[in-house]
Structure 1
Amino acid sequence: MSNTNWQKSSYCASNDECIEVRTANGLVELRESDTDGIIVRTTPTKFAAFLQGAKAGEFDHHANSTAR
């Protein structure tokens, strides 16, 4: 079982409300630093596809939508 330490996003605010990521047992794990008990797990391939989509603006419309 190989685990790595949590790494904070380079966009982390000084108030410690950050997205953190690590690898554990061949998976990528993500959590918010202020709610560290909730962990999302995915495969490295799916995480890489998500990052590519985010960089390409694929999810930007979610940030601009209004809550209903």
Structure 2
Amino acid sequence: MSSPIWQKSSYSGSSNACVEVRTAHGRVELRESDDGNIVIRTSPAKFAAFLRGAKAGEFDHHTANA
């Protein structure tokens, strides 16, 4: 059985400074493309809730001074 393939956003182009995502064993996994040693795992429901919040701008205040 082959490993699930990591995917990154088409917006990142050829950049390695992005987040990659995949599903494996019923979980959603995320990692930075330039350092794949650290993987964050969560449930599909929690990841969907995070995406809804990000699309709604719930986290925009965290990047206001970045």
Deviation at 1:60, TM superposition (A): 0.2
Contact 1:21 1:28 in 2 (8 A): yes
Q: Secondary structure at the match of 2:12?
A: coil
Structure 2 residue matching 1:64: 3-state secondary structure: coil
5+ residue gaps in structure 2?
A: none
1:7 counterpart residue number: 7
Residue identity opposite 2:58 in structure 1: E
Q: How many residues align?
A: 66
Question: Aligned partners of 1:2, 1:45: CA distance in 2, in Å?
Answer: 25
What is the percent sequence identity of the aligned residues?
65
Q: Provide the alpha-carbon RMSD of the alignment.
A: 1.9
Distance 1:9 1:55, change over 3 A: same
1:18 corresponds to which residue?
A: 18
Distance 2:45 2:2 in 1: 18
Q: TM-score, normalised by structure 1?
A: 0.85
2:46 counterpart residue number: 46
Gaps of 5+ in 1: none
Deviation at 1:9, TM superposition (A): 1.5
TM-score by length of 2: 0.87
